Amino acid sequence: MSYKKKYEEWLNSSIIDEATKLELKALEGNEKEIEERFYKDLEFGTGGLRGVLGAGTNRMNIYTVSKATQGLANYILKQGQESAKKGVAIAFDSRRMSPEFADISARVLAANGIKAFVFESLRPVPLLSFALRQKGCIAGIVITASHNPPEYNGYKAYWEDGAQVAYPRDEEIIVEVNAVEDFSQVKSLDKQAAQAAGLYEIMGAEIDDLYIEELKKLVLNNDTIKKEADDFTIVYTPLHGSGNIPVRRILKEIGFNKVEVVKEQELPDGNFPTVSYPNPEDIKAFALALELGKEKNADIIMATDPDADRLGILVKNQAGEYIPLTGNMMGILLTEYILNNKKAQGILPKNGIVIETIVSTKMVEAIAKHYDVAVVETLTGFKFIGEKIKEYEKTGEYEYLYGFEESYGCLIGTHARDKDAIAATMMSCEMAAWYKEKGMTLYQGLMSLYDKYGYFKEDLESLTLKGLDGIEKINKILRELRNNPPKAFNDIAVIEARDYQNDTIIDLKTGATKKTGLISSNVLYYVLEDETWVCIRPSGTEPKVKFYFGVKGSSMENAEAKMQLVKKAMMDLVDKILA
């Protein structure tokens, strides 16, 4: 069906409400905008839904959300009555329409006879993961677009282990969602009727309390916190999101007394009025926190994204200036801190394991080797880390210690199965206080690790290519590199080429081929003979293609020089492909 036909169907449908029709009528004559909104259905992918808010099949609205939930409900019902009886937990963040999307999701589930447990107000992603495990639910839903710009919202689906739905279940759910071809197939129940039927239950403080108690169990050095509590200053911003209450609560309850919150960004606001992009990976999001940090002479400055699954940190460098730690740097620091302290306390298991993704720093492997701990890599996406935790719990082969992604997300503990910025905030403050007790800043601690394990450096380049034309350009880049893999970068030979879509790892010296051992994903990866690596993958949530780089140098200066050369070589190659 053409986009024009779909547009007219919405205008004439008895199901579509009048406010939505008015929004669509205002678009008459704007063919480009109508096409963008209706040229396809908003895709329910392996990570769920994410898109721009607005009317249309290719937008986030109550209709596309209810369609997705009907598909999820159909899938749950096919798992049997026992699965359906377990119910579904639902959380939402501060974004525009998040409460409404949570409510319509709950009412669709209720109409299908599946109980919905809905948080009373906004909550972080890790609390949803924790709640569904506590409630024994079959699935979970989080309404969020993470750190995307204000015009976006999204919908993430979880399964009973608390992790985002993984392969092959994710693809099976996609089939069910796509099978709902018409909004008339979507069932819905009035909230009051759903509650009267016992199919719509509100969750609140009782889950929060249990969650906070679980986090307290993760603290490794209570005595250090007690000693430094009155002389350790923390500046924190929730960036108008869901982290404010739980972050402040856990820091207070474990003993930190000097927590300063950025007032202008304290309250939830889906318009994110003080930032253009509520992303703790972006230094510009720290402008107000940095101002307050300087005023208070903070030991650490922190920001969580709107759904509080990612944490960004600023610390003072050797010149006393606040600089950002990358996700890889935080991964390095926390891996060392956890393994070091568990070993010192005699609680480091013999079969311990750290889980990272294929685009994360290789320095973690050096740290883990020092402590005789295993490391395993997964594809990008925290659900794969969650899947590994579940696997090791079943087999007993390894005991999970820590997992992280380079994109500022990690999980300490197994109370949840997704990134937890609340736990990361707690542990990062504890770690910084531990270094302070030793007379070191967190930055000095990081530098000591480079001296100990090697000068590893990582970087990321993203190329944003919007619209239909952009999709084709992204596909062209991946297609050309897949068909004609580079043999060298700056005369440094590529010795290994991995194609995760075709499940192949090719040794370019011997020609030997083996499998990646991971599920199919549109990712290319090259290893150079000097330990440099390059990885290319399209973003699963934004119109971007991402280029990841890692090097190891003889010094920090040497590592930086190597990085600049390999980045230029890769981006020059991309320019040639798109020329």
> In 361-465, at which residue ranges do the beta strands (DSSP E only) sit?
374-378, 399-405, 409-411, 455-464
235 DSSP β-pair partners: 260, 301
* C-alpha dist (Å) from residue 577 to 276, 312, 361, 548, 564: 32, 34, 28, 18, 20
Catalytic residue among 66, 98, 146, 360: 146
Q: Provide the residue type at 160 as one letter.
A: E
- Give me the DSSP letters along 299-325: SEEEEE-TTS--EEEEEE-TTS-EEEE
Annotation marks residue 188 as catalytic: no
Tokens for 90, please give them: 């639902």
- Residue whose structure tokens are 């460098």: 317
- Residue 282's SS3 state is coil
* Per-residue 3-state assignment (H helix, E strand, C coil) for 203-244: ECHHHHHHHHHHHHCCCCCHHHHHHHHHHCEEEEECCCCCCH
Report yes or no: 280 and 262 within 8 Å, Cβ to Cβ: no
Partner residues linked to 534 by β-bridges? 526, 549
What 8-state DSSP symbol labels residue 53? Answer: B
| Beta-strand pair 322-325/311-316 | antiparallel
* Integer Cα distance of 454 and 184 in angstroms: 60
Beta carbons within 8 Å of 467's beta carbon, 6+ residues apart: 36, 543
Residue with tokens 């703790």: 280
- Give the integer Cα–Cα distance in Å for 503 and 519: 8
End-to-end CA distance of the chain: 34
> Which residue(s) pair with 259 in the sheet?
234
Give the strand pairing for 492-499 and 504-507.
antiparallel
Residue numbers annotated as active site:
146
